[in-house]
Chains A and B, each alone.
Chain A
Amino acid sequence: MASLPLRPGNPARRRWLCVCLASLCLPAAAWATKPIRVGLTPAFVHDEYALMEEWRRYLEAKLGRPVEFIQRDSYRETMDLLRLDKLDFAWLCDYPYLYLKDLVRLLAVPLNEGRPYYRSYLIVAANDARQSMRDLKGAVFAYADPYSNTGYLTPRYMVKQLGEDPATFFKKTFFTWSHRKAIEAVATGFAQGAAVDSFVWETLARTQPALTAKTRIIARSPEYGFPPFVAHRNVSAADFEAMQRALIGMQDDLTGKMLLDRLNIDGFVRGDKRMYDDVAKMMRAFGEY
């Protein structure tokens, strides 16, 4: 194109033509090139793909804009995408949220059994006689994700509270990169213990009772603020508002209610950063906050 010889013409008239063309093209182009990018993580049961697709379409209809779900199996990858400004919103764990507290803003907090809280469950196999974290010394332990509060920060904090070094307390540890798989690791006997998201465990107890029945909860942590929906700092106030309204409004229509039900949450509320102070306390114990 560049090599084509330009015909001499009226520059004013050409400029006017361009404006007309641009005004015609803009809405369509914006629709095509500026979707809302939402990052999904194992903070909830994120691998039910049909449900995710329905939720995405629902949000598209609500926002009147294309919505793109970007799924990652580790918090680390989603955090990286936020840092690289490749996401507008994300459903994160509370631990990464505090990690990225300068990069993201709290958008909405899901309601778990009516309240925006959850905890960490320490689980062993159903037929295992261990009764507490202390009994798991020298065991094979499954962590969910190095940026999971309930699956990594909490159990390590518990070990620390016992006066032990989390690095040597267990004989062997490994990451399963999701709470569900951490439950599977204990259920199959591959690991002797794991700490998991109470919300994921309860959801699976409802959808796959055979799996959770093979595990037994031996300790429950204090309540923490539920893994929140966050917005990138760069998201405009209008988009922030629109997304917040769309999420919080889900409990007000039938389709939204059905989706919430399948996500096993009761809805979204605005939330408050102070709900996560306990997490911050634990992070401080490891010199991370």
Chain B
Amino acid sequence: MRLFDLSLRHKIPLWGSALILTAALAIGAVFLVRAYDDLRQDLFTSAASLGQTLAQTLFPALLHDDLWRAFEIVRAPFHEGAAHNPLQPDAIFVLDGEMHILVASDPQRLPTLARLEELPGTFAALANALRSQPLNETRSFDLPATAHFFTATPIESGGRRLAALIIAHDRQVVWTRFFELAVRGALIGLIAVAALLPLNWYWGRRMAEPLIELSKGMDALVHGRPLPLPAAERYDYRDELGQLFSAYREAAAALNEKALLEKEMLRAERLAAVGRLAAGIAHEINNPLGGMLMAIDTLKQRGALDAATAKTIALIERGLQQVAETVGALLVETRVASRPLARHDFDDLHTLIEPQAVKKQLALEWRIDAPDTIDLPASVVRQILINLLLNAVQAAPTGGYLRLQAQAAERVLSLVVANSGAPLPEAVRSHLFEPFVSGREDGHGLGLWVTYQTVTQLGGRIEADWQDGEVRFTVTLPLEKPES
């Protein structure tokens, strides 16, 4: 796996950290270079200023050959307490025209009247530099391979030059100061990096996580199984990422809806096919069954059957009766002549269901918002509602409630039967309206199937769902007969 194939989860924080470290190092390096340069410049500026001050007071002393006074002047910057001055010179001395030391702050090292070239150390280099160019103004010397920075100031007044004042600074002074600054800078840098790195890590993860989730989501989307994205739900900014999330959500919702629709259609087709099959079989059975029952009836009326035969005949008759009942149940007939549905039909249903509801201590609520008559066959609608209400009584827990809602709009009658039961298990829900499927132990499983077939034949729809803590069956029936 190549470095650049790393997950964004690692790549963003890594890149951020690299950037922070690079920036810190770059700034640090620039700072150090500047600091060294500034320090050196400060040193030279301070030395030049000191040199000019001392040169002014040295002039009369040297003019009067007052060496002691000159000595006191060059030693003045070395008083006790000046030891902590970071730019403390290492030595100050006065040179005459022949490069002899007239006075020096440290006569042990720079003896009076000694020749500069003959001194140990790097003073000879200074003598050469001074000889190579006349000293007309304060000059600083950063001579290679010397232990000191030198600042030379002419001691002159009114055009008369007496000598040159040299201020020598140990290079170590600058380096010491520089290292102090560098250490301090590094510490500050470390603190900054220590504060920035976790911040960067946190920010990087925050950036990466929604992207990673989105990537997983897109993958799932391509395979037709959109995932819910919790990070996307939390992300409520309208930037590009937010727009991506919202596009994803729309795509996922559209896909879900399509899948749901396809499922519904499949279900409806299956139920219709089962209905047709059942009705077809029921018709095919019904005709010979009627003949068989008629024949048995005739045989019974003719009489003179021995006991064993009569018993057998009765057995066959009961069996056929049961077949007839089942087949009758399967034969859903909505095209019966019936009076239109009236308001008092709902009151009748209340009366019918009440004894059973009382038995389970259910509260009954009838919310009827309908005209006096509705153009729907009263017997069919009553059958639908009785089925649903009986189911609801069974499903509701003892002490719960049962509600019937009817609302007639301009072109549809919507009926809701709700009870305070538990939600239907998914296994039951997906085969709810199929024949011989029952949520209960004792049902034959045809109630809801018949209801579904009836509603469908009326051109309506029936849906079951669980909302607001109750199980709801919603039936929507068109008030005009379907075209077919």
Contact = CB atoms under 8 A, between A and B. Distances in A.
Interface of A: 140, 142, 171-172, 174-177, 181, 185, 188-191
Given A140-B112, A185-B71, 19 more contacts: A142-B68, A172-B112, A172-B113, A174-B65, A174-B66, A174-B67, A174-B68, A175-B66, A175-B68, A181-B68, A188-B71, A188-B75, A188-B108, A189-B107, A189-B108, A190-B67, A190-B68, A190-B104, A190-B112
Contacts of A175: 66, 68
Contact of B111 (A142, A185, A189): A189
Contacts of B75: 188
B108 A172 contact: no
A140 B68 contact: no
Query: Which of B65, B66, B103, B107 has the largest count of A CB atoms less than 10 A from its CB?
Result: B107
Among A175, A177, A188, A190: residue with most chain B CB under 10 A: A190
Nearest to A140: B112
A190 B71 contact: yes
A186 B65 CA distance: 18
A132 B193 CA distance: 71
B60 to A, nearest CB: 15
Interface in B107-140: 107-108, 111-113
Contacts, number: 33
A80 B68 CA distance: 23
Nearest to B75: A188
A176 B113 contact: no
Nearest to A190: B107
Contacts of B66: 174-175
Interface string B55-70: 0000000000111100
A177 B113 CA distance: 21
A217 B167 CA distance: 34
Contacts of A189: 107-108, 111
A190 B92 CA distance: 13
A227 to B, nearest CB: 21
Nearest to A127: B108
Given A188-B107, A188-B108, A190-B103, A171 B113 contact: yes
Given A174-B66, A175-B66, A185-B71, A140 B113 contact: yes
A185 B107 CA distance: 9
A181 B103 CA distance: 15
A172 B67 contact: yes
Given A174-B68, A175-B66, A177-B68, A191 B108 contact: no
A200 B132 CA distance: 48
B11 to A, nearest CB: 69
Contacts of A190: 67-68, 71, 103-104, 107, 112
A175 B111 CA distance: 18
A176 B68 CA distance: 5
B197 to A, nearest CB: 57
12 contacts: A140-B112, A140-B113, A142-B68, A172-B113, A185-B68, A185-B71, A189-B108, A190-B67, A190-B68, A190-B104, A190-B112, A191-B112
